[in-house]
Amino acid sequence: MLDAGCGEGIYATLFAAIGFDVAGFDISPNCVEAAQHVAAANGFSERTRFSVQATEQLDYPDDCFDVVVGIDVLHHVEVATSVAELLRVLRPGGTALFREFVEVPAFDRVRDTALARFFFPKGKHQDHFEYTTEDERKLTEEDIATIREMCPALVERRFNTIARLDRFLRKPGQRNASNLEKLDHWLCGRMPSLSRFGGSVVLELKKAATGI
C-alpha cells in the first residue's frame, strides 16, 4: 500500500497493523521523521518505509502498489498531475481511495464571508486532529471531472452534510462516530439527493487490468 501525503504516519501505522506493507511519503521532512517514530513506537518499522517526496513527481516505479490511499491530500496539490502520478504507480487491477474536502457552493459562500471568517477562523479548531490551513482549497466539480476523465470508472461518495456542524459540537479528541454523523448517514441513505450537499467525498478509482 502507498499512503500518499502520510503526515505523521498515524494512518500508515494503522494500515500496517491490519496487515499491509506500507510505503508512505510526505513533502515535509519533519512529518516523515515523525512517521518513522510513530511506526517504530508501535512495532511496525519492518512493515513501513517513509520518504520525502511530492505527489507531482514520485520516485517509485510503474505499477508497484496494490492500493493507494490519500487522506486530505489532493486539495493541497496540483490535482491532475498528482492523480496521474498516483495512478502510474498503481498496479493494473489496483484501487486508489481518496478522502477529501469538496466545495459546496450553497454553504461555502456563507463560510467565506468576512463575518464567518471573523468568528470561525479557518486555521483554528478545538480538535487538533482537525485543521484548515489558509493556503489549501477544497476540491471542485471541475477537479472531480478531471479525475473522471483519467479514470472513467470513478466512484464518488459524498458525506458530511449536516454532520459538518460537528466541528462546533464535537468534544476535543473524540474519534468515534457522533450522533450527528449517525443521523447524517441515516438521512442520506434514505434521501440520497441530500448527499450532494456533503462537504466531504470519498473517491474510488480502479485501474483497469490493461491500463487506465
pLDDT of the residue at 158? 87
Residue of 165 and 70 predicted with greater confidence:
70
User: Does residue 15 belong to any structural domain of this protein?
Assistant: no
Please give the Cα distance from 16 to 27 (Å, whole number). 21
User: Does residue 183 belong to any structural domain of this protein?
Assistant: yes
What's the whole-number mean pLDDT along residues 186-205?
Answer: 85
User: Does residue 93 belong to any structural domain of this protein?
Assistant: yes
What's the chain's average pLDDT? 83
Range with the poorest average pLDDT among 57-66, 83-92, 109-118, 170-179: 109-118
Q: Which amino acid is at 68?
A: V
pLDDT of the residue at 128? 37
Q: Which amino acid is at 17?
A: A
User: Does residue 43 belong to any structural domain of this protein?
Assistant: no
pLDDT of the residue at 103? 75
Rg of the chain in Å (alpha carbons): 18
86-115 burial: b if 16+ Cβ within 10 Å, else e = bbebbeeebbbebbbbbbbeeeeeeeeeee
pLDDT of the residue at 131? 40
pLDDT digits (tens, 9 = 90+) for 18-38: 999 999 999 999 999 999 999
What's the whole-number mean pLDDT along residues 89-96?
Answer: 96
Are 147 and 79 in contact by the 8 Å Cβ rule? The answer is yes
Domain that holds residue 165: 54-206
Please give the Cα distance from 164 to 130 (Å, whole number). 12
pLDDT digits (tens, 9 = 90+) for 113-159: 555 455 456 554 433 334 444 456 788 889 999 999 999 989 999 88
User: Does residue 73 belong to any structural domain of this protein?
Assistant: yes
Task: State the CATH number of the domain containing residue 140.
Answer: 3.40.50.150
Residue of 39 and 198 predicted with greater confidence:
39
The model's confidence at residue 71, banded by pLDDT at 50, 70 and 90, is: very high
pLDDT of the residue at 120? 55
User: Does residue 27 belong to any structural domain of this protein?
Assistant: no
Residue of 187 and 88 predicted with greater confidence:
88
Please give the Cα distance from 64 to 78 (Å, whole number). 22
164, pLDDT greater than 80: no
Alpha-helical runs (H) found in the chain: 10-17, 29-41, 79-88, 105-111, 114-119, 141-150, 166-169, 179-190
Please give the Cα distance from 156 to 201 (Å, whole number). 7
User: Does residue 103 belong to any structural domain of this protein?
Assistant: yes
The model's confidence at residue 104, banded by pLDDT at 50, 70 and 90, is: low
User: Does residue 33 belong to any structural domain of this protein?
Assistant: no
Q: What is the total count of domains within the chain?
A: 1
User: ∠ CA 175-17-159 to the nearest 5 degrees?
Assistant: 40
